[in-house]
Every structure is written in C-alpha cells, then in structure tokens.
Structure 1
Amino acid sequence: MSFNRDIQLDPNRVSTRSGGGRRGAAIGGGSILTVIAVVLISQFTGVDLSGLLNQQQGASTASTSSTIDTSMCTDGAAANEHTQCRMIATAESLDAVWGDQLPSQGGPAYRRPEFVLWDGTAVNSACGTASSSVGPFYCSGDESVYLDMGFFSDMERTLGAKDTPLAQEYIVAHEFGHHVQHLTGTMAAADRSGAGATSDSVRLELQADCYAGLWVHYASTTPDPETGKPFLVRPSAEEITGAINAAEAVGDDHIQERHAGQVDSDTWTHGSSEQRVRWFTTGMESGSVHTCDTFAVDASQL
C-alpha cells in the first residue's frame, strides 16, 4: 500500500531504542522448546504481555541509543522507500483515521499511543522485558506499541508470510487496534486468563484484526492534516492479498501446524487463519466499529 509521496511526516512520531545485542544471540538462555512455545502463544500481536514477557535475570535492558535512523522520514516518498519511515507514516495515518472514526462512531476521544521501534534482543516496557521472540506487542501500562524491526524478516522466514508493505502496515494497525480496545474499556473487561477457540483472548485478537481492516477501509480517503492529501493510495487487489496472506500466516492453527505438526484449538489465543482473514475482511469492507464487535457474536459466528 503506497503512501502519497507529498504527505508530510514527523520523524518524532516514534521513539527508537536499542535492546542490547543483535538477533542471533541466545534468548535468555532458554531452550528451543521454550522459544517455540513463545512463538505458538504470542508470536505476532499479543495483548498486555506481562505474563509472557521474558523477565529472567540478566535480560538485556533497553538503552536510549539506537541504530534505527528516522531522520530522513519527512514525507511519503521516504515511507515508500524505508521501512522505519513506513512505520511512522502508518502510525500517523492510524492516528488520523481513529481520531475521526472512534468518536464519530460512538466511542471515546482518541488518544494516540506511543510507538517504539527497537532493534536488538530485548526491550523494556511497563509490562516487563520482552525478548525479540515475542514479536510486536501492545502494553496498556504505558499505552505503547512495541515493534522489533527484525520481525518482518522473521515473519517471512518462520511463518511464511510475504514481507509486503501492506502486510507490515496490517501488523501495526492490529497493535493500534489493541490500543483502541484499551481506550474503549474492552481490554479491561475481557477475561484474558483463558485460551481456546472461543475465549476472550481470541475475541480480543480477532477484534484487533477487524480494526486493522477498518483502518484499510478509511486509509486512502483520510487526509494528512498538513497537506490535505490522503495518506495512502487506494490499495490494489495484489496488496490486499499480501495483507490477507499475513493474516493467514499468523493464525494459531497455521503456526501450530508449521512448528508442532498438529493443531490443538484448546490452546488458541489468537484465532485460526480463517477467522483472522474473515474478521480483517469484515472491518475492511464495512468500516464499522460496531461490526467489529467479536464479543457480541456466539461461538458459531466467531
């Protein structure tokens, strides 16, 4: 999904951190089974990962320095060329869409989350210390989205999802969806202690997928407040297919089959590939917050 070249970006919309060390170092001394377990439970888009984060002694602490350079991220042309700039443009587009749609569709006023790009093996948040194996996550404790810049290549290598621009943007939009759930009180009201195909954990994740689709619905018509031009060019069928491919790749059944060779729906925390694609498509086609209410449908409709 291409950004209009002339939109103006604020490089300070994100903060950057270095997590000490690079990918390939041992992750907390854990076994490969531990790493696979983390992947199966929380790879890509966990919610409030306080129970899943790596809090072992000796975990790397985040520093204020970073190798991520955002100084060139000033316009849409840079967003189309550089991944870190694409993250900034996606965040600004999400801010604009939700700033309009959340209150206009009966929700509270939108308050933008912090967005942290990090590189390394671990990052600190108000929810704890997360290793790079956790993947992108949202922490309500500091109202921040955290994204490891190495995740996109991992997504393609370990999950089989093509690393396309709209697939990247879908991931960010999903995490911002968790922030919307925090603002509306949905996250606090949900029982996230359980697992299974119809659990509140799965309903939260599928709603965040629907919210990501809702962003796609409005992204090509919502203007950049600086220039008045839409943030994004209307996505092509091929670009939408790339995002759907990413949604399929992060389904619990697909991840379990790929890493464990079998599927156990009783342990699901994010939903199946079919569910994730269907709810993303629901949001994209309807543009309705109310249509995304996964807590209002019974198990047969989930």
Structure 2
Amino acid sequence: MTFNDDAKYSGKGVRKSGRRTGLAVGGGGLGLVAIVLLSQLLGVDLTGLVGGGTAGTSQSEDTALTNCDTGADANVDVECRVGFTRDSLEDYWSEQAPAMGIAYVSPTINLFAGSVDTGCGGATSAVGPFYCPADQQIYLDTAFYDELRTQFGATAGPLSQLYVVGHEWGHHIQNLAGTFATADTSQTGPASDAVRLEVQADCFAGAWLGAAAQTTDASGTPLLDPITDAQVADALNAASAIGDDRIQEKTQGQVNPETWTHGSGEMRQKWFQTGYSNGAEACDTFALADTEL
C-alpha cells in the first residue's frame, strides 16, 4: 500500500520512548499476576519479561516523530509509515467506533527499541507488538517487521506492516467496547475466547484496510492510494505466518490446536478477509457457534 505523496502528517499520537535499562514491576504497573492474565488475553508471553529491579531509567527523553511531513516520507521511512498509519486508523475509528456504540478515545503508539516500561509492566522487543489496556498504548519495535521475514517466513511488505498496527488498534477497540472485561481467557483452543479476541482484532484490521483509501488528512487529502490485490495477498501472508499452527509447526514440529490462543493461519486470513469485505459490523466473533469460527 502506498501513501499519497501529498498527504500531510498530523504529528499526533506516536511517541518514541527513550531506551530503558531496567524492567518495571511496580510504580503503576499491574504486577506479575496481571501480566500473566495479559499474556493470555493478548497472546504474547510477557511473564518472562517481568523481573527484579525497579522501574527502568531512561537514557534519553521520549520524543515525537521528526522528518515525517508528507506521505512521501512514509513511503521510504518505517517510522513515518507508522505515523501515517496512525492517522488513517484514527480517521476511520473516530467515526466507526461511535457508529458501533463505542465511546471512542484515541490510543497512543509507542515506538521503542530494546525494552520499555508500560502500564502493564516491563517488556522487551522479544514479545513482539502488543497493546496494553492499562495505559491504552500500542507498543511496537519496528524491528519486528524484519522478524516477520526472517523468523516467520512472511513477505512483510508495507501492507502487512500496516496490518500489524491495525490488529493492535483492534485490541484497543475491544478494550473500549468492554470485550476484554467479559471475555473468559482461562481456556485455550480454536473456539476459546482468547482466539475469538485475536481473530476479531484481525477482522477489525481488515475492516479498516477495506476503507483506508477513503481516510484523509486534516485538509481532506486522501492518505492512501487504493489497495491492490497483490498488497492484500501480502497482508494475508502475514496473517497466515503468525497463526498458531504455523508457529507450532515451526517451533515444535507438531500442531496442538487445544493450546491455541491466536487461531490458525487459515482462521486469521478468513477473519481479515471478512472485515475487509464486509466492514467492522461483521466482526462479532463472540456471536458465533464454535463450528462457525
């Protein structure tokens, strides 16, 4: 997906964290028990990333993105791409969420390298991108995009990079909607609430991307060019590559559906396509029978 060269960046909603030297446990964090629950909910293993020590100290101050003025910058710079992705997501969800009866509040995207202190405790880049409900921030080390290629075997082109951010934004929408509060994440498996949360976030990402070419900057200039079939295939490739079955086969040599927390690659592709074709209103994965997922 290509950003419109003439689109202007808002300069809002993205921050770069100073590199941290420690991992936070207290000081406003949720602590180990909550990190275990968050790991189950979001499908990322944060438990090994909360350890001794106090809140980490910054070696540099948090900053906003710089040199990200136009869509042309986003087409060549990965951090600028995240900034413009944020603007498109914000334009879409600021209207779509209220239409679904959700009181909308904007999240913040926090770009970090190495390690970071969050409202959910300390984390490192090893967890991959994640959303923290406690501070309503999306955390991303852009090095993850390289890992999509080298570790997960995904093509990881520009649209798949946008999909990753859109998925985490989908978790923010779930948080605002109260879905996190009502989901039972104590179980795993293809029909578990944990999987329903993940594939719904995929569906929300697809819904946004289906409408992304209509999103605009503050002056009404389109942010993105229309999506091509090849770019959709790139996003679907990423969704499949990070399915539970693909990861289990790669790391364990066998697939155990009863332990799934994200859903299979096929499920993730299906729900991305459902959102892309039918919009966010078609993403109620909790209303379906087990066999319909």
- In structure 2, the residue matched to 1:286 is 278
After superposition, where does 1:22-41 map in structure 2 within 5 Å? none
SS of structure 2 residue aligned to 1:191: coil
After superposition, where does 1:143-158 map in structure 2 within 5 Å? 143-158=136-151
After superposition, where does 1:191-210 map in structure 2 within 5 Å? 191-210=184-203
- In structure 2, the residue matched to 1:92 is 87
Q: Which amino acid aligns with 2:107?
A: P
Q: Which amino acid aligns with 1:117?
A: L
State the shift of 1:162 in Å.
Answer: 1.3
- In structure 1, the residue matched to 2:256 is 264
State the shift of 1:46 in Å.
Answer: 6.5
Q: Which amino acid aligns with 1:100?
A: E
Note the alpha carbon deviations across 1:98-131, whole angstroms, 9 max, x for none.
0111112x322321101100011x2111111112
**Which of 76, 79, 91 is matched with 2:74 structurally?**
79
2:4/2:72 contact within 8 Å kept:
yes
After superposition, where does 1:213-232 map in structure 2 within 5 Å? 213-224=206-217, 226-232=218-224
- In structure 1, the residue matched to 2:60 is 65
Q: Which amino acid aligns with 1:300?
A: T
Change in 2 beyond 3 A, CA 1:68/1:262: farther
After superposition, where does 1:243-258 map in structure 2 within 5 Å? 243-258=235-250
2:15/2:65 contact within 8 Å kept:
no
- Distance of 1:301 and 1:265 partners within structure 2: 16
- In structure 1, the residue matched to 2:232 is 240
Equivalences, count: 279
Note the alpha carbon deviations across 1:197-253, whole angstroms, 9 max, x for none.
1110000000000000000111001222x2212211111111111000000001000
2:198/2:262 contact within 8 Å kept:
yes
State the shift of 1:173 in Å.
Answer: 0.1
Where do 4+ consecutive residues of structure 1 move more than 4 Å? 48-51, 66-69
2:40/2:185 contact within 8 Å kept:
no
Q: Which runs of 5+ in 1 are unaligned?
A: 22-27, 29-40
TM-score normalized by the length of structure 2: 0.88
Q: Which amino acid aligns with 1:81?
A: V
TM-score normalized by the length of structure 1: 0.86
1:15/1:115 contact within 8 Å kept:
yes
2:102/2:176 contact within 8 Å kept:
yes
1:68/1:118 contact within 8 Å kept:
no
- Distance of 1:10 and 1:290 partners within structure 2: 28
Change in 2 beyond 3 A, CA 1:53/1:125: farther
